[in-house]
Amino acid sequence: MSKNSEFSKLRFKLDEAITYGTQGQAIELAKQGLKEAQIQGLAGEIEYFKGQLELLNENFSAAIEHFDAAIKYNPNDGASFNDRALCMVELGVIDEAFKYLDKGIEVEPDYATIYHNKGWLLNNIGRHTEAIECFKKALQLEPSRAVTYDNLADALFNLADFRGALEAYRKVLELLEPGRCEEIRGQVMAQIKHIETKLI
């Protein structure tokens, strides 16, 4: 993550928009970040936000080139390693993606998003127990990450820990801002009902 507080805030807002908002909102924030970085002449940030725009437009190979350039300027930027890994996942290069996630964790061990995304990938390939450990680490760093509780619940459900999944899904509802993310809220409530029928 950027150590410049202005860009840290912008990156956080961008992450929120990608997770809970719309693609349009995310693109506007990435453009804003790019413009600010260009005004300030910050090469690493310029490359990072260019990479974000390519990623949002699903130009994954082009995004990787920008994230590689961002890493050259800022070798301790966990977000660039993280987002490069996500592009690799989209291109089907899973084993290599883990190397970049692990490198991101090594250079920025207090960046919750990278643990979350490693957990998401592990869960998707059936390594649910390892995924849960990653989600727990992300939640130690950022206890109010609704999206991580959502993924934790899914991993627990995959291991047939229905009570644990139920507890995690209820935490998602507690943490989601009222009036926002209604689609996510609806999906979570449906999952809760589904699990409750299993526990009867």
Annotate 141-180 with DSSP letters as a single string.
H-TT-HHHHHHHHHHHHHTT-HHHHHHHHHHHHHHSPTTS
Residue 35 belongs to domain with CATH number: 1.25.40.10
Domain that holds residue 8: 1-109
Residue 143 lies in a domain: no
Each residue's pLDDT tens digit, 8-46: 888 888 988 888 888 899 999 999 999 999 999 999 999
Residue 183 lies in a domain: no
Mean pLDDT of all residues belonging to the chain? 93
Query: Which whole number is the average pLDDT over 102-107?
Result: 97
The gap between the terminal CA atoms of the chain, to the nearest Å, is 45
pLDDT score at 22: 83
pTM listed for this prediction:
0.91
Each residue's pLDDT tens digit, 143-166: 999 999 999 999 999 999 999 999
Show the CA angle centred on residue 89, arms to residues 171 and 27, nearest 5°. 70
Residue 161 lies in a domain: no
Residue 4 pLDDT more than 90? Answer: no
- Give residues with Cβ within 8 angstroms of 115, minimum separation 6: 105, 134, 135, 137, 138, 141
Q: Domain count for the chain, please give it.
A: 1
Percent of the chain with pLDDT over 90: 80
